[in-house]
Each structure stands twice: as structure tokens, then as C-alpha cells.
Structure 1
Amino acid sequence: MNTFLKLSFVLLFVSVSYANNVINNLVKLPKHFKVEHTFSGDLNDTESFHLIFSKNKKNKLFTIHPYVFDGTNITPLDNITNDSSYSLVSFHRDNNILSLLLSFKEDKKDFIKRININLLSKEIEESDAIENEDFSTSIREENRSILINKNKKEIRIVEFKNKSDIKVLKYSYNKRDDKYRDFFDANIEAVKTNEFVANGSVAELRAYLDGENIIFTKEIKENISTEVVSIPLNKKELFPSKILVFKLNNSDNTYKKITSFYHDKKLYQFANNKKHGEIKITSTSSKKGSTIKLDQSLTQQLVQKHNFKGFDDFLKAAGKSKYNTTLTINNTEDGNLKVRVDYVNIEYSYHYNWWWHHRMMHMHMMHQQIQFNAPAGFGPTQPNDFHFNTYDIPKEKRYFEFVINNQNEVISNTKTKTLYKEVDKKEYIDKLEEIQDYKQESSCFLENSFRFIAYSKKNKGFIIQTNTL
């Protein structure tokens, strides 16, 4: 066999062994790739991308197999390989460049690398790795990702913007009794503000992205107050603002619970006990605000209720120790704000990065199989016959809603259609997880659809499918 034929044979072997094979919109990897997990993300209103994470049993390299799905066709992209296992922390897009922020371990240290994928040319560009020790949370917008890291000595913020910009800001605590050390001593949970999440976060310490500022809020239950710290991203150095304290208790009512939501330079707080409750709205710049009492006059202004039987019953239940109260804000299409107040079981957790829900569900299912050897769910489903009619998730919503204008006044006779529609994402994800024919699922939400990738045991390959919301 001459040299040319030998080379051609090698190239053919490589292409067959390592290609991301798509046959009739069914993805089949070569058998020497052991799949670890998948990830799905939105690109725009109609397109999504899907990643299959695997380990190559031949060369021991870890591989990411990327695909783009437009609702009809699956387009494979070039594989990404690494000596260590990758985990996706965040992603964003700059025109035709998809940026993946991937974390990995090397010499027992945590690192992160940005990998850019040109969705047109399929060209891949890898950045130098930077340290990612003590990662806490991430905040994502369409064209940027912000990572927050913290430990007992410092808080560190890394902003990845567009396809190349990286900005690192760091604040080191000056002394043992540094007030910011105490403020940041809890786990940080990022709250997404460019969509509507019905109940929001119940974490003690929360982070909101407001333009070029990250706003941190911390609930202080001991004196029924919320502390607020702002960190600007457009400065050369990181220095937190003064800690602002917003209290609610007064001489008439001693409240037992407090929750809050930050929106457009205002802090919305809800405090209550079993008999009384009020909502306080305060400008974080001027500290001027107003208070809305939960009484008969507000009852007449409610625009929507779910399992709501009046404020007496609501407060009596919401004041119990087995519940946490929640408050969220949603813009209406006519320029006002809809306020929702609810309470949830203390086991409830807020999901900003929905892909973690899949990972936690898989761990839970594995634990169940080990403990009980009895997987949950209902029978196999065809790839194009994805229905949820036989499964019902218990509803635990007991909320009430009302509308306010920009002057914080409760108003009526208004259009209540909201800018961000309400989608019960957990319901879609949980029902997907229950289909026994599927494994290695991941999903994302587009403007009007639910998109997922899953390995079909019956079809022996990965399917990518769309379902209308």
C-alpha cells in the first residue's frame, strides 16, 4: 500500500471514529465514547445548542460534542477535547460567536477557560486558563457572563464580555472585623431579572445584575431588615458601596419574617407575622419610599389570586415556621409593575441555572435506585410523542398579585399582561426526567418552546426535540 493510500485510510479511520454522527436527526457517538452528561442552552428565539460530555476510552481524553438545532435539523460542530473533565459554568453569545465558560481541575486547583465557537465557520478558539478557586455563583446576560468567587480573605468578580474581553475585580478584606467579610459570609444566590420566576430566591444573600452594577441584598431576620451593597463593574478596582440598612419593624407590629426583591433601583420588602403584613418600597439611592398594608383596601385592588382566601388566612399560614415568604416583580406591558406575594415550603429552592436541576435530579434518581432499586416514572415514550398528560405535579401556590405605578401607588383598571410570561419550568423538567426511555437529559427554554436533548434507549441514540410551551 503506498503512502497516499495509507494516509487516506488513517484519515478515514479518524473521521469515522471521532465524528459526531447525525443520521435522520439521531445522534450516535462511536462506542468508545462514554457519555457523562449533557447540556442545553438557548441561542435565540428558535435556535439552541446542545453539548454531550464524554470520555474517550481509547486516548483517555475528555470530549465535548457540540450541536446546533434550529427546530428541524441538527448541525454538528467540531469536538472539544481536554486532559481533564470539563464542567460548564456559563455561556453567552456575541453575534456568531458562542462563548462557553468551562471549569476544570489541574493539580487539585480549579481553573476556568473560555472556548469560543464560530457558529458559521465552526472554528474553535481557546483562551488561556485562569484560576477559579472558591467559585460561588454566576450571572449571565446575552453577551456576557459574570463569575463571583469568595473566601474568608477576599471577594473576586470576573466579567467575560463579548468574545474576548475579560475583567477581573478583587476586594481583599482589610482586617479581621471588616464589615464586608461579615456581609459576604453566606452563600450567594444569583437572581435572574430578565425573565419571570414565580417565587424567586429564598436565600439569605442574593445577587442581582443592574446594568453595570451588581446589587447584593442580605436578609437580617434578627431585626427584620435588608442590607444592600452595590459593586460597580465599570471601575478599575472593586470596592463595595456603603452597606445600606432597610428596616421594617415599628412600634405597632413586631414582624417575624422578611423577604425582598430588588428591581430597577428600588428595594421591595415584605415583612409579616401571623396577623399583620406590609410591603415597603424604597429607592436605594434616596432611601425615600412608601408602605402598602395588607388590609381590606388592598383586597379590592388584587388583580389575580391563586388559592387565596383573604389576608387573615394567608398571614396565618405564611407566618408558620414550615414556610418561607417570597416576593417578586414583573413588568406589565403598559409600563407598570405587578407585585406577587407568596409563601413556599422551606424545602423549596430557587433555580436560576436550570441545568443544575437536571444534575441534581440525576443524583437523586441514582440514590433512589441504590437505596430502593425501584426507579420512578412512567413507561417508555416515542421520541416524537412527548406528552405529559398522565403526570401531574401538585400545585402549592397561594399567591396574590396587585399592580403599582412608578410612584408606588396601587392602581386598578390596568392591563395586567406582563412583559415576561410565567412558565412553570420545573414542571416541564420534572416530567421530562420521568420518561423511562430517556437518560442523560438536559433542556432549555426558548421564546415559545421547550427544547431538550436525551438519549433514547429504544433508538440507541440522542434525540433533540421541541415542545410548544
Structure 2
Amino acid sequence: MKSLYAFCLLFVLAFLPATSRPIDGELVIRLQEDEKLTGTFSGDIDQQTSVHLLFLKNKKDDHYIVKPFFIDAHRNITALETSVFKEEPSVVSYHLKDDMLTLLLQQGKRKEQNLEILEFNTLNGDVQQFTVANFKEPYLLLRTKEKTFLLNKEDDQVEVVTILGAGEPQKTTLNLTNVSKETIEKLFKEKPETINTEEFVEHGSILPSKLYYSGDKLVFDYKSEEEYFILTVDPASGDIMFLVQSLKILKRLRK
């Protein structure tokens, strides 16, 4: 609700300076004559901060424009540096570490997509950009407050891509040598549900497999009527700690 409220308040600021100002009334975004609004995006980073985007198209050169805005915990709004793309972009993820906001945008044709990593300084609006060519949609995406994880899976190989800011992403292949093929099949029989632990979920997942981030580790969690196990993954090294418990044995012990 906060994101929706803030963006409704936002609607109509192309000339807001890249210094923060309080939201103390209606803010107006005035488009240039050659600009056409094609879409908007609002996302909560946590319970206090949020990011808001205007997607525009230049009617003269057909280029696409992204105008980002950041709202901090004190309800100050900052207009961040505008970015221009030849192909229509879409939001992949976003996260905030200290004063640096990272926005991941996907753009390009289906077989020739790029991942654009934009890192904004929320204090002065400046941006740094890094492009990952030949980007393919990941098997799983997990967004945390300070980083984004992309997981690529091919057969029994799982690669973890960690994105912090505008630089080369860190890539690690999971070391699954000590995990049985049966366990891997159970874990990935259905695509695990990714859970952002920063967000409140009233009802837990109904899927047997889940993925979340806790204590600097990626945690794969699997539960069926007969067993429960977790794989704790170090995203920096790919090392895995495996814990398995039989629910049948636990039920007998409780009797």
C-alpha cells in the first residue's frame, strides 16, 4: 500500500533536482512534448523505503527512458539520474545497501537480451551502469534487501549469480558431490518458492521446496509428510551443509 500511495502522490516531476525533498503535498511530473508515458513501477525495498519508476518513450527517436525516484525512511523523495535504452526495458529486481540503490533491468530482443545493472547514489542521484550481455531468464530469482541472487539450473548443475552493484556479478557453481541424486530430484521436482524474509507473509508456502536467505547463507528447505531437510549454501564458495531429519522418527520420539 505504501508504494501505491507514494506513487499516486508522485504522479506528474521531470524537473525535480537530484537532491532529496520532503513529500509535503502533490508532486507534479511534467513530460516533454516528445515524451510518452508507457508504464510505471513501484516497489517496497523494506517497510520504510521504496523505489518508483516512470517508463517513457521518445516519440522522435523511439528510444526508451527510465526516470527513477527514491523515497527514504523520512519520506524524502530524490529524483535519480535518468537512463536511456534502445529497447524497451523491464524490471528484474532491485535492492538497497547503505545509500546505494541497485536496479536490474532487462532489455533487448528475446534471444539477444541484456541485463542492465544500474547503481544509484541516493544522496546525489548519480548512477553507474554495467551491462551483462546474452542474459537468460534465471531458473530462480531471490531478492534480499541488500543483494539479488540469480540461480541458473541445467540438469544437476546449479549456478548462483550474486549481484551487489554495478560491476561483474559473482558466479559460483554449487558443490553437490556429497548430496544424493535422490535428494536433488526431490528438492527440484517442483521449482522452489523464493521467500523474501523482509516481507511479511501471512500464510506460509504450500510448496514442499522453498529458498530463502538467512545468516549470509542461501537456504533450500524441503518438507514432505515423511521427511524434512535443508541445504545451506555459501553463495561465495558454493559449499553446502546438508541436514536431514525423518519426520517419522521425530513423531515416534514425541509419543
Structure-2-length-normalised TM-score: 0.73
1:99 deviates by 0.9
Asked whether the equivalents of residues 91 and 101 of structure 1 are also in contact (C-alpha less than 8 Å), the reply is yes
Query: Which amino acid is 1:76 matched to?
Result: A
1:20: which partner in 2? 14
1:225 deviates by 2.3
Describe the SS at the equivalent of 1:183.
Answer: helix
1:211: which partner in 2? 215
2:7: which partner in 1? none
Q: 1:55 aligns with which of 52, 57, 62?
A: 57
C-alpha distance in structure 2 between counterparts of 1:114 and 1:208, whole Å:
22
C-alpha distance in structure 1 between counterparts of 2:228 and 2:47, whole Å:
37
1:182 deviates by 5.3
Q: 1:190 aligns with which of 176, 187, 194?
A: 194
Deviations 1:285-320 (A, max 9, x none): xxxxx85x9xxxxxxxxxxxxxxxxxxxxxxxxxxx
Q: 1:36 aligns with which of 35, 38, 41?
A: 38
Asked whether the equivalents of residues 220 and 227 of structure 1 are also in contact (C-alpha less than 8 Å), the reply is no
C-alpha distance in structure 2 between counterparts of 1:117 and 1:216, whole Å:
31
Aligned: 1:234 with 2:228: no
2:124: which partner in 1? 121
Aligned: 1:248 with 2:242: no
C-alpha distance in structure 1 between counterparts of 2:231 and 2:46, whole Å:
33
1:80: which partner in 2? 83
Deviations 1:358-388 (A, max 9, x none): xxxxxxxxxxxxxxxxxxxxxxxxxxxxxxx
Structure 1 gap ranges (5+): 1-18, 251-279, 282-289, 294-469
2:158: which partner in 1? 155
What is the percent sequence identity of the aligned residues?
A: 23
1:245 deviates by 3.6
Q: How many residues align?
A: 231
1:137: which partner in 2? 140
1:181 deviates by 5.0
Asked whether the equivalents of residues 134 and 151 of structure 1 are also in contact (C-alpha less than 8 Å), the reply is no
C-alpha distance in structure 1 between counterparts of 2:49 and 2:186, whole Å:
43
- Which runs of structure 2 are paired with 1:57-456 in the superposition (5 Å)? 57-69=59-71, 74-106=77-109, 108-152=111-155, 154-161=157-164, 164=167, 166-171=169-174, 178-179=181-182, 180=184, 183-221=187-225, 224-235=226-237, 238-242=238-242, 244-249=243-248, 291=254
Residue 169 and residue 79 in structure 1: after superposition, are their counterparts in 2 closer, same or farther (change >3 A)? same
Describe the SS at the equivalent of 1:149.
Answer: strand
Deviations 1:88-116 (A, max 9, x none): 22212233221112223446144422111
Ranked by relative contact order (alpha carbons within 8 Å, sequence separation 6 or more), the top structure is 1
Asked whether the equivalents of residues 69 and 80 of structure 2 are also in contact (C-alpha less than 8 Å), the reply is yes
Residue 58 and residue 108 in structure 1: after superposition, are their counterparts in 2 closer, same or farther (change >3 A)? same
Query: Which amino acid is 1:199 matched to?
Result: H
Residue 106 and residue 241 in structure 1: after superposition, are their counterparts in 2 closer, same or farther (change >3 A)? farther
Asked whether the equivalents of residues 94 and 163 of structure 1 are also in contact (C-alpha less than 8 Å), the reply is no
Query: Which amino acid is 1:77 matched to?
Result: L
C-alpha distance in structure 1 between counterparts of 2:161 and 2:71, whole Å:
30
C-alpha distance in structure 1 between counterparts of 2:241 and 2:45, whole Å:
35
1:231 deviates by 1.6
Residue 54 and residue 67 in structure 1: after superposition, are their counterparts in 2 closer, same or farther (change >3 A)? same
1:68 deviates by 3.0
C-alpha distance in structure 1 between counterparts of 2:218 and 2:101, whole Å:
24
Query: Which amino acid is 1:58 matched to?
Result: K
C-alpha distance in structure 2 between counterparts of 1:240 and 1:130, whole Å:
29
1:151 deviates by 3.4
